[in-house]
Amino acid sequence: MKITVEDLERLGACVEGISDFTKQYPSGFSEDWTRAKQIEILKSPFRMWLQWAWTSGLVPMWSMANENLRNTNLSRVGLIKANLSGTNLNRTNLSGANLSGADLSGASLIKANLNRANLSGTNLSGADLNGSLRCSNDIPIHGWVRDNSGRLVEEETK
């Protein structure tokens, strides 16, 4: 797959995004777009442009189901409608991330930072959120409550 500055301009990329792209890929991006490459980009500072690349049609969004993203900094990343089912997100920083409509079913988010993460429409069925951080003014997650330290614990059923 070849991606050039001209491709970015044609798709309406912002100046900052084009600048970051030319620093990272001075001769353009010329590699296969695979799940492994997507994960590599997701784990890099370049991750902030990934959602734009998906939604603009520049690159396809690969499923990240059952991936190991433990201890990864994904703060403020866009993962709208991403398939992260069964993924290990333990101790991952997802603060400010947009996970709207994402599939996190069966994912492990033990001690993840979910402060100010957008979880609207996110499938959290069977996800383990034990010990995850969530701000007091964040929208509550059904079945989970904050303890005195701000960490999530499963709500006791009566």
Residue pair 78/51 in contact (Cβ under 8 Å)? The answer is yes
What's the sign of the alpha-carbon dihedral 13, 18, 24, 30? Answer: positive
Q: Does 77 lie in the same domain as 28?
A: no
Q: What is the pLDDT of residues 97-142, one digit of tens each?
A: 999 999 999 999 999 999 999 999 999 999 999 999 988 888 888 8
Give the angle subtended at the CA of 38 by the CAs of 5 and 45, to the nearest 5°: 70
Tell me which of 40, 60, 80 is where a domain ends.
60
pLDDT band at 158 (very low <50, low <70, confident <90, very high): low
158 and 116 both lie in a single domain = yes
Whether 83 and 151 map to the same domain: the answer is: yes
Q: Are residues 75 and 113 in the same domain?
A: yes
- pLDDT, tens only, 46-79: 999 999 999 999 999 999 999 999 999 999 999 9
Q: What distance, in Å, lies between the first and last C-alpha atoms of the chain? A: 55
Domain end among 19, 35, 60: 60
Helix (H) or strand (E) holding 153: strand 152-154
Say whether both 44 and 84 belong to one domain.
no
Closest C-alpha among 118, 61, 68, 64 to residue 89? 68
Question: What distance in Å separates the CA atoms of residue 152 and residue 149, rounded to the nearest whole number?
Answer: 9
Q: Which domain holds residue 36?
A: 1-60
Give the CB-side neighbour count of residue 17, counting CA atoms within 13 A. Answer: 17
Tally of domains within the chain: 2
Single pTM value for the model: 0.89
100 and 121 assigned to the same domain: yes
Structure token digits, residue 95: 């603060």
Same domain, 43 and 90: no
Q: Distance (Å, rounded) from C-alpha 64 to C-alpha 39? A: 8
